[in-house]
Structure 1
Amino acid sequence: MPVRSPFLVLATATALVLAGCSSAGDGAAEAGPPQSGGTLKFALAVDPTCLDPQQFGLNASLNVGRQIVDSLTDQDPKTGEIKPWLAESWTVDDAATSFTFTLRDGATFSDGTPVDAAAVKTNFDAIVKLGAKAQLAGTYLAGYRSATVVDPKTVRVDFAAPSAQFLQATSTMSLGLLSASTAAKTAEQRCQGDLVGSGPFVLKKYTPNQGVTLARRTGYAWPSSLAEHKGEAYLDGIEYKIVPESGVRTGTLQSGQIDGATDIPPQDEARFDGNGFQLLVRGNPGIPFNLAANTSKPILADEQVRLAVQKALNRTEIVQTALSDKYRSATSALAKSTPGWNDQSAALKFDQDGAKKLLDADGWAPGPGGIRQKAGRKLSVDVIYNLAFPPSQTILELAQQQLKAVGIELRLRQLTTGELTAAQATGDFDFLWFNVTRADPDILRTIFSTKYANRSQLKPGPLDTALDQQVATLDDAKRTQSVAEAQKLIVTDHAYQIPIVELSQVIGLSEKVRGLRFEASSRLSFYDTWLGK
C-alpha cells in the first residue's frame, strides 16, 4: 500500500494555525536572485553539548545537525505531509509494522561512501545500540525488530508492533543518516563532532562553549523535494557562535557583528522587527510547556488538587506578562500546530472561584499564611526546572502567585540539566516543568504511556489504550479519534499534565539573510539560505 502520510488529514487540519513559518526574506523581490558565497555568522543561546543528531535532542544541537545529515523523508511544515528526500518512494503494510523504502540514486556521505540500503540498516541498528543515549531517535525506533537490505536501493524496516508514527519519524534529523564509519565511533567521539553525514554542509570544527564551523559540501546534489533549489548550498559556510547572555547576543546582532541569533527575548523583539532586521517566528509542535504531575506523590495523587491547579492558572496573564504576542496560551496536551491537536481549552479556562470550590469540597481548609491544610498537611508542592527557556523563571513565579491566591504553595527548585535528569529518574519532584518538540501526536505516548517514560507515574488504564490505538492504525479518522481521547484524558478528565504556554522559536536576522526556513519541527534549515547586499 503506497503511503505519503499516515496522518495527512490531521496535519492539514492544523496547518492554518502555524505562526510565522515563512522563510527569511520572503516577498523581498528587491533582493534579486539568490547569490552564492559568504559565511553566515549565527549566534546560539546555548552550547550544543553534543553534535550528534541521533543522540541529542537540544534545539542548539539539532539546529547544527540538520545541516550535516539528510533524512529518508521530509515533512512539509505547512501541511504536515511526508515528502521524498533520500527515499524517492515507500510503502507501508496494512498493519503499520513493515516500511519499505526505495532510495534515490547518487547520494553519498561526505567520505564518498554511498547512501544505500546497507547504510540505512547500519544507522538504525546503531541507534538501537545507543540505547538511552539516543534521546529522541530511540523513542522513534521503539519496537524496532530489524532492517533488511532487499537490494542496494531497497530497505525494509520491521517493527514488533504497529508503529504508524515511524514514517514521520524518518523525516527528523534524529533519524538522519550518518556514514558507517561514524556508526563505528564511540558515542562520545560522535558528540564531539566526529561525524560524517550526507547533508549540504560538513563539520570543520567544534569548540565546546565557543562555536561550531561548517563548510559547504562540494558536489552536493540531492536536497529534499521541499527545497527551493538544487545543487550545492548557497553559503560558503556557517559560523555558529555560542552566546548565552541574551543582552550580548542581541547587541552583537544589532551592531552587525553577526547575521542572526536564536532566542530573541520578548522584551527585545521590537528592536529586530524592521529597521534593517527581521524576525523569523514559528510555534513549536509537540507538548507545550506544562506542569507534569508526579501522581505517586501523596498530594498530587489527589485528582481534585490537580484539577484545582489547572483552574487557578491565568494563562492569558502569564503570556501577556512574561512573553509577547509571538507566543500563545496552551489549549491542550499538544501545541496547536501539532497534527491531531484537539481543543481542551474549556478545561483550561481561568476559574479562581472554581479552584477554591474544588479544594473546599476536597477538605483543604485555609491555614496560616493563606496556604490550605488537610489532616495536618500543608497544600505545598514543588516544581523542578532549569533555564533552557529563560522566561521559565518569570512564568513560574507568576504561576506561584496565582496558585497562592487559591491557597496552594508552589515551591520553585531550579536545577542544572544533570540535576534535573537525576531528579526525574528518582521521582524526586512534585511537578516537572518541561516541553517536547515533535510534529506528530505520538509524542504523547512516549511521555505518558506506562510502557515508556511515564513521568507522571500513572497506572495502566484507558490512557494507555488510547495511546496504543493511535499508533496502531493508518486510518486517519481512527487515529484522530484516539489522539483526541488521549488529550481529553490527560487534560480535561485527570489533569495529569497542566499545559500553560506554547513555545515559539523567535529568530532575529539581518535583512540581508534570505531563504532561511523552519522545517516541520521548528528547527532551522540553512540549505536555501543566502546573503544579500
Structure 2
Amino acid sequence: MKRPLALAGALAATLSLAACGGDTGASDTSGPPRPGGTLRYGLSVAPTCSDPVQSMTNQTIYVTRQIVDSLVDQDPETGQLKPWLADSWFVSADAKQFVFHLKPGITFSDGTPLDAEAVRRNFDAIVAVGGAKAPLAASYLAGYAGTTVVDPQTVRVEFGTPNAQFLQAASTVQLGIQSVATIAKPADERCLGNNIGSGPFTYADWKQGAAATLAKRTGYTWGSAVFAHQGEAYLDRIDFTVVPESGVRTGSLGSGQLDAISDALPQDVPQIEDSGGRVQFTSNPGVPFGLQPNVTRGALRDPAVRAAFLTALDRQQLVDTVLGPEFKTATSVLASRTPGYVDLSARVKFDPEAAKKILDQAGWVPGADGIRAKDGQRLTVGVLFAPVFAGNQAILELAQQQLRAVGIELKLDPVSVAEWTTRQNAKDFDLNYYNTTRADGDILRTTFGVDQRNLNDRGPSEKLDALLTAQLSATDAAARARILGEAQGAVLDEGLWIPTVELSQAIGVADSVADVKFEASARLQFHDTWLRR
C-alpha cells in the first residue's frame, strides 16, 4: 500500500468538482439548531425501492440516503473525500487495492456491529444481486475480486483490474453499508422498508408508491466530516408523501401542510416566496438529460440521423420556455459540475440548417407533410420517458416541434417508472430520455461502456472502449481529465447521446425549516436539518 488518500493524494485530487456552485442550504440558519419536530416532505414521484443499493431515482435517494452511511463522504463544495464510517484509507499505486480503517463502536440500528466483516458481506451481496437489480452499484464494483477482513476494524477491497473510480463510488448511497440481516434477504424483499443501516434515521413506515416515514436514530455519534455536527439528527421524524402535481405541492407548502417539496418549477417560485418560503437550487453533476439512441433500431441505425439530432435542438429555448434561469443548457456528455467535464458547445449547438444538410446528404427526403423518408422508411422515432422529473414531458413536447422543423417526427412514449425500467433493460425503445447523477467522470463508463448497461445496444468501439478503460488506471488528476475529455468527444462522434439540458434540483422550503442541504451528487441530506419553532 503506497499512500493515504485521506491526505489529498493524486486520486483524491481527481475528484475535485469541475465547477462548484449551487445553494447547498448551509446559509439558511438563524440561531442555534433546535432538536425535535417532524419534517413533512412532498416528493414529486414515488420512491421505487427502500433498498439503497437498488436506488436509482432522485426521489428514491432522498429517502434512502438517510438510513445508511458510506465508507467516505464527498464535500459538495470541493469534491474532496472526507471520513465517514472510515477515518482513514489507502490505495495501491495500481488502483487495484483499497484499504479502509473503520471507526470503532459503530453499530447498525438493530444493535449489531458495523465491522469489517459486515463491509465484506455487503460488497459480496451487491455483486451477487448483479446489474439487473442494482446497475449503478454493480458498475462501481466492476472487476471486483473480493474483500479481505484484515482485522475487525480494517478491510481490504481488491479488484482484478485498476478501478480508480472506486474511492468516490464508496461515498455513494448505492454502496452504503447495511446490516448483515438485511443483505441476507432476497433483493425484492429489500424493497419493502425493512432495511437496517447505521444512518441517522431508520424506517418507521413504508407504503410502496405512496409514503415513507423515517425516525431519528438515537445514539448516533459517527456523522460524516462533511456534516455540521457528528451527533444525532435534530429532526425526530421525516414524513415523505407523494404529491405528483406541481401546483398541489406548491399550494401545500404555502398553506403549511408541507414543510419542503421537490421539483419546484419556475412558475411556482413567486408563490413560494410570497408565502415566506424559498427555493434552493443546485445543479447535478453526471450525465445531463439527453436522448440515448438504440443504434440497432429503425432510422437511428443511420449515423446521419443521430448527427442531425445534435444540431436540430434549440436547447436555450428548452431552458427559457420550460425551466427558467436557474437551469443550464447541456454543452457536453457530462454536466458542467462533473470532474473531467469539457465544453463541447461548439458541437452541441442549435443549427437547423446543418441538420437539414446532413439529412439531405444521407438521402432523407422531405415528404408532403415535411417529414422525411428514405427507401420507403418514414423518419419517425419514438422517445421513451418516465415522470422522474416534472419538466420532462414539456421539454420533449417542445423538442418535438423543433425536430419537426428539420423533418424528424418524434413520438412521445410516456410510461410509469416501473415500465420504464423494464423496457430500458430489454432495450425496447428507439430513444430513451433520462439523466444520471454522479460526481465523478466515470459515469461515462457506466452509461456508455459496452460491458456495462449499454442501453445504446452498440457493438465494441476500439476508441471509446479503450478510453473508458484507460481512465480507470489514471490516478493522476490531469491525465484522467484528458482521457475523460476524449471520451466525451468519442460519445458524440458515435452518436450515442444527444444532450438537452442540465438537471438542477429545485427544492421549495418553508421559512420554518433550516439547513436543508445537498450532498455532492445534488441529493438531499437531512442530518443537519432542523425546525424553527
Same fold (TM over 0.5): yes
Which secondary structure state, in structure 2, belongs to the residue aligned with residue 506 of structure 1? strand
- 1:489 corresponding residue in structure 2: 490
Give distance in 2, aligned partners of 1:313 and 1:298: 20
Q: In 1, Cα distance between the equivalents of 2:208 and 2:239? A: 13
Following TM superposition, by how much is the alpha carbon of 1:47 offset from its aligned partner in structure 2, in angstroms? 1.8
| Counterpart Cα distance in 2 of 1:526 and 1:421 | 28
Structure-1 residue corresponding to 2:441: 441
Equivalent residue for 1:454?
Answer: 454
State the Cα deviation string for residues 78-127 of structure 1 (Å, max 9, x = none): 11111111101111111111100011112111111221111111111111
Q: Corresponding residue for 1:19?
A: 22
Indicate conservation of the 8 Å contact 2:13/2:80, yes or no: no
**Residues 282, 506 of structure 2: 8 Å contact kept:** yes
Partners of 1:43 and 1:260 within 8 A in 2: yes
Distance 2:473 2:266 in 1: 41
One-letter amino acid of the structure 1 residue matched with residue 407 of structure 2: G
- Residue in 1 that maps onto 2:371: 371
Equivalence for 1:113 = 112
Q: Which residue of 1 aligns with 2:150?
A: 150
**Structure 2: distance between partners of 1:421 and 1:135:** 11
2:220 maps to amino acid: Y
Residue of structure 1 in register with 2:310 after alignment = 310
Q: Secondary structure at the match of 1:235?
A: coil
Distance 1:408 1:120 in 2: 51
Describe how 1:170-185 pairs up with structure 2 within 5 A: 170-185=170-185
In the other structure, the counterpart of 1:89 is: 88
Q: 1:519 to 1:241 in 2, by over 3 A?
A: same
1:153-184 C-alpha deviation (Å, 9 max, x unpaired): 10000011111111001101111111111122
- Separation in 2 of the partners of 1:298 and 1:43? 40
Which residue number in structure 1 is paired with residue 4 of structure 2? 2
Alignment of 1:186-205 (within 5 A): 186-205=186-205
Equivalent residue, structure 2, for 1:102: 101
1:475 matched to 2:479? The reply is no
Q: Structure 2 CA distance, aligned partners of 1:483 and 1:164?
A: 13
Partner residue in 1 for 2:234: 234
Deviations, residues 377-399 of structure 1 (Å, cap 9, x unaligned) = 22222211122223211111111
Q: Distance in 1 between matches of 2:515 and 2:322?
A: 30
Equivalent in the alignment of 1:421: 421
What are the superposed Cα offsets for residues 240-284 of structure 1, whole Å, 9 maximum, x if unpaired?
A: 122222222111111001111111123212222364101111111
Partner deviation per Cα, 1:175-224 (whole Å, 9 max, x = no partner): 11111111222323321111111111121111223322211111110000
CA gap 1:267/1:445 in 2 versus in 1, 3 angstroms: same
* Separation of aligned partners in 1, 2:268 and 2:254: 11
* CA displacement at 1:58 relative to structure 2: 2.1
Give, in whole Å, the separation in 1 of the partners of 2:518 and 2:419: 31
Aligned length: 527
Q: Residues 427 and 114 from structure 1, CA distance in 2 versus in 1: closer, same or farther, beyond 3 angstroms?
A: closer
Task: State the distance in 1 between where 2:222 and 2:170 align.
Answer: 16
Task: Describe how 1:155-166 pairs up with structure 2 within 5 A.
Answer: 155-166=155-166
Which secondary structure does the structure 1 equivalent of 2:365 belong to?
Answer: coil
Whichever residue aligns with residue 414 of structure 1, its letter is: P
| 3-state SS, counterpart of residue 88 of structure 1 | strand
One-letter amino acid matched to 2:140: Y
Deviation, 1:354, is: 1.1
The answer to whether the 8 A contact 1:56-1:135 is kept is no
Q: Amino acid of the residue matched to residue 180 of structure 2?
A: A
Q: Which residues of structure 1 form unaligned runs of 5+? A: none
Task: Tell me the equivalent position of 1:347.
Answer: 347
Letter in 2 for 1:114: P
**Structure 1 position 332, deviation (Å):** 0.6
Deviation at 1:459, TM superposition (A): 2.4
* Cα distance in 2, alignment partners of residues 405 and 10 from structure 1: 42
Mapping of residues 20-99 of structure 1, within 5 Å: 20-23=23-26, 26=27, 28=29, 31-99=30-98
The 2-side partners of 1:185 and 1:81 are apart by 34
Helix, strand or coil at the partner of 1:507: strand
Aligned-partner residue type, residue 194 of structure 1: N
Cα separation, partners in 2 of 1:449 and 1:82, compared to 1, 3 Å: same
Larger deviation, residues 414-423 vs 224-233: 414-423
Cα separation, partners in 2 of 1:226 and 1:426, compared to 1, 3 Å: closer
Return the TM-score normalized by structure 1: 0.95
List runs of 5+ in structure 2 lacking aligned partners: none
**Could you tell me which residue of structure 2 aligns to residue 502 of structure 1?**
502
1:129 aligns with 2:128: yes
CA 300–125 in structure 1, closer or farther in 2 if over 3 Å, else same:
same
AA aligned opposite 2:55:
F
**C-alpha distance in 1, partners of 2:425/2:211?**
31
Give the distance between the partners of 2:87 and 2:419, measured in 1 at CA: 44
Q: How far apart, in 1, do the equivalents of 2:420 and 2:102 lie?
A: 41
Match of 1:325 in 2: 325
Closer, same or farther: CA 363–523 of 1 in aligned 2, 3 Å: same
Give the secondary-structure state (helix, strand or coil) at the position aligned to 1:451: coil
Distance 1:285 1:98 in 2: 27
SS of the residue corresponding to residue 432 of structure 2 reads strand
Please give the secondary structure, in 2, of the residue aligned with 1:102. Answer: strand
Cα contact 2:294–2:427 (8 A) shared by 1: yes
Shift of 1:49: 2.8
Give the deviation of 1:521 after TM superposition.
Answer: 1.0
Distance 1:155 1:62, change over 3 A: same
Task: Provide the C-alpha distance between the structure 2 equivalents of 1:404 and 1:442, rounded to a whole number of angstroms.
Answer: 34
Name 2:518's counterpart in structure 1: 518
Query: Given that residues 56 and 133 in structure 1 are in contact (C-alpha distance below 8 angstroms), is that contact kept between their aligned partners in structure 2?
Result: no
What letter matches 1:52 in structure 2? Answer: D
> Is 151-160 or 61-70 further displaced after alignment?
61-70
CA spacing shift, 1:239–1:108, aligned 2, 3 Å: same
Contact residue 366 and residue 373 of structure 1 kept, 8 A:
yes
Letter matched to residue 134 of structure 1: A
Q: How much does 1:298 deviate?
A: 4.3
Q: Aligned-residue CA RMSD in angstroms?
A: 1.6
Residues 395-450 of structure 1: CA deviation (Å, up to 9, x unaligned): 11111111111111112222233332333334332211111111111111111111
Equivalent residue for 2:272?
272
Please report the TM-score for the alignment, with normalisation by the length of structure 2. 0.95
How far does the alpha carbon of each residue in 1:310-340 deviate from its partner, in whole angstroms, 9 at most, with x for none? 1111000011111111211101101111111
The answer as to whether partners of 1:294 and 1:457 remain within 8 angstroms in 2 is yes
